[in-house]
Copies of this chain bind each other. A is one copy, B any other.
Amino acid sequence: MYLHNQVIQGLRDRKRAALARAVTLVEDGSEHAQHILEEAYRLKGRSKIIGITGSPGVGKSTLVDSLIEAIRERGDSVGVIAVDPSSPFTGGAILGDRVRVRSRTTDDGVFFRSLASRGYLGGLSRNTGDVITLFDAFGFDYVLVETVGTGQSEVDIMRYAHSVLVVMAPGLGDDIQAIKAGILEIGDVFCVNKADRPDADRDVAVLEAMLGLNKDWQWRPPVVKTVASQGKGVPELLDKIDEHLGFLKQGNLLEERVSRSYLAALEANLRRQTVEHVLSKSRSDGSLDCALKQLSEGKTYPAALARQLVEKYLCSGV
């Protein structure tokens, strides 16, 4: 029996080891991955997929842990995907992974996995959609996708979520304004964590004011105060997330979110494959070196060169 058949059977039987194996095979781009993904995209569609983002120091990990508690208290199962930066030196993500997993190995209703960034070209966005689909296919009630920061790739990853939770915290210094600004547009629910800190109410007010600038919300994102370390406000936060999912279903907007996630996954794969195609073609026939030489000699500029290469290697498809 082929490895991928064993893994697929394991996924159907909701074996955690099979899920872990599947994620690794997909992350490594193994030839087994395609068979597993084919099946996963057939099985998917059961999970509520929640994207959770916010800058370092807001207490995301603690909040995720207490969200897990709240979800488990309702008797629902939850899978957690943490998209971390990692390093060839330390494999930082994996470390974080172990720590978190160890704290919950006793609970079969929770599964935690960290995804490492794989180098430059679309590294982060490349497999995330596939891994989320593996979790969905496994059939968790909730899948939490946690990312650090407000980089483009984090924003891209949020496109895979049905609901996006943006976490903030008081007293992170000047940068918080920019961070708020950067992710205001992607949040469905906002959380001001560490709400026992002095500036919490001011931050909530600023946030409400910023959200108030947009007059034509279909769904006005609520702002919830939490103290994750004590679990305060977390059940209410989970309620708001469920409310948003309910809103999406009522308005038949869930399909929109889902097809947004398909488009995101397609784009992520296209970005990688088209660029690889053009780069490898132009490498093999020497036109890439020639192109870089032209750039270094100031004979042209990147956008024009890209246009030339696109015209050369992309045909009308007719």
Contact = CB atoms under 8 A, between A and B. Distances in A.
Interface of A: 34, 37-38, 40-45, 55-57, 59-61, 84-93, 95-96, 117, 120-125, 129-130, 133, 148-156, 159, 172-185, 210-211, 213-214, 255, 258-259, 262-263, 265-275, 277-279, 281-282, 285, 291-292, 295-296, 298-307, 309-310, 312-317
Nearest to A159: B120
A310 B273 contact: yes
A317 to B, nearest CB: 4
A164 to B, nearest CB: 13
A56 B317 contact: no
Contact of A149 (B120, B151, B271): B151
B270 A275 contact: yes
A210 B92 CA distance: 11
Contacts of A42: 298
29 contacts: A34-B303, A37-B303, A56-B56, A56-B176, A56-B179, A85-B150, A85-B178, A87-B210, A89-B185, A89-B214, A91-B181, A92-B178, A117-B152, A120-B156, A130-B302, A148-B178, A151-B151, A151-B153, A152-B153, A259-B296, A265-B295, A266-B302, A269-B303, A269-B305, A270-B309, A271-B275, A278-B314, A312-B317, A313-B315
A182 B43 CA distance: 33
A306 B96 CA distance: 32
A203 to B, nearest CB: 14
Given A151-B152, A296-B262, A85 B310 contact: no
Given A151-B150, A175-B148, A301-B41, A182 B87 contact: yes
Contact of A213 (B90, B213, B214): B90
Given A56-B173, A267-B275, A302 B262 contact: yes
B56 A86 contact: no
B259 A301 contact: no
Contacts of A61: 174-175
A92 B315 CA distance: 40
B313 A268 contact: no
A153 B157 CA distance: 13
A206 B264 CA distance: 38
Contact of A150 (B90, B148, B314): B148
Given A84-B178, A93-B181, A306-B266, A152 B152 contact: yes
A122 B301 contact: no
Given A90-B213, A152-B123, A295 B266 contact: yes
A304 to B, nearest CB: 7
B262 A85 contact: no
Given A125-B152, A130-B303, A270-B310, A92 B172 contact: no
